[in-house]
Homo-oligomer: A and B are copies of this chain.
Amino acid sequence: MEETAITIYDVAREANVSMATVSRVVNGNPNVREATRAKVLEVIDRLDYRPNAVARGLASKKTTTIGVVIPDISDTYFATLARGIDDIATMYKYNAIIANSDSDDKKEVHVVNNLLAKQVDGVIFMGNRITDSVRAEFSRSRTPVVLAGTVDGDEQFASVNIDYVSASREAVNQLAKSNKKVAFLSGPLVDEINGQRLAGYKEALKENKLKYTEALIFESKYSYEDGIAIAERIKNSGATAAYVANDELAVGLLNGLLDLGLEIPEDFEIITSNNSPVTNYTRPSISSIEQPLYDIGAVAMRLLTKLMGKEEIEEKTVILPHGIVEKNTTK
């Protein structure tokens, strides 16, 4: 908003053309004589004209803005996804309004509403689960939605993830090779993503002829402190290994166990889930499932551009490959 903003009308008058022609030039419409285009461009440059995106949005019903619902932008996991989203968004000339939800049901509904009121062309939703109210909100809007790193059992929405079941199965398989008692440590099991991880854990136990017991299942929050706090209980459970659903939690568990005098990985093995940088900072560094977080965001955004462009989608449930990186918390 300049002192006295230059409008398309000012440019038209100065260039002796109609505003339609200026609009055509601005939008790269080929139906403009080269000489005319040059003149308009010159005036645009001289007057330093900057098209008002809000007016454009109202007239065209396209805002070139997307909404991103994210639990917490200061959480590296989501921030990495967000970076992937924003890079691709920028590539396709979109801007991203980022709204923190804290995975709170009420806030989620609120921010989604807000985003839709702002007429975003699409939404990328991240969370641990997708509630019915959010689902309803999206359903009665025609705005395309893509879930990133978020599991939707109903497959109502397009989504980009890795195969969490397989990933955790592989991780637990690795641990079960040399441990009879493998603990499972995650955030709330009601979150669908953790449910999938638990399913993978159970599959691995079965494959290794180990029996499942709730005594080895630990539910917690996703924080370093929670990891520290739960270390003693896990040690006392008799487990000699743990698959952990979150890196900060894993770091906490590692340091907690170290504080209790355990040798890692000799006495206890750990595999975590996101292979974020912190897994390399600890001593020993933490073995982890490796997942392409940035790419999940990037692919989700690319998918969204297709949806917004009404392109045909070959497969709306995208599964990206994962791996296991062995570092120093496994033998």
Contacts and interface: CB of A to CB of B under 8 A. Distances in A.
Interface in A114-169: 114-119, 140-143
A231 interface: no
Contact of A100 (B75, B86, B115, B142): B86
B63 A73 contact: no
A242 to B, nearest CB: 17
Interface in A46-69: 48, 50-55, 57-58, 61, 63, 65
A279 to B, nearest CB: 9
A140 B50 CA distance: 12
Interface in A65-94: 65, 72-76, 79-80, 82-83, 86-87, 90
Contact of A277 (B3, B96, B248): B248
Interface stretch (A12-20, A183-191, A280-288, A310-318): A280-288
A251 B280 CA distance: 10
A50 B116 contact: yes
A141 B5 CA distance: 9
A217 interface: no
B79 A73 contact: yes
A83 B100 contact: yes
A65 B282 contact: no
A310 to B, nearest CB: 13
A95 B294 CA distance: 24
A90 B70 CA distance: 14
Contacts of A258: 283
Contacts of A79: 73-76, 79
Contact of A97 (B65, B74, B141, B143): B65
Nearest to A84: B74
A249 to B, nearest CB: 12
Contacts of A282: 281-283
Contacts of A240: none
Contacts of A117: 50-53
A113 B48 CA distance: 11
Contacts of A96: 97-98
A99 interface: yes
Contacts of A248: 277
A328 interface: no
- A-B pairs, top 4 by smallest CB distance, nearest first, are A74-B83, A53-B118, A54-B57, A74-B79
Interface of A: 1-3, 48, 50-55, 57-58, 61, 63, 65, 72-76, 79-80, 82-83, 86-87, 90, 95-100, 113-119, 140-143, 224, 248, 251, 255, 258, 277-278, 280-283, 294
5 contacts: A1-B143, A53-B118, A58-B58, A73-B98, A248-B277
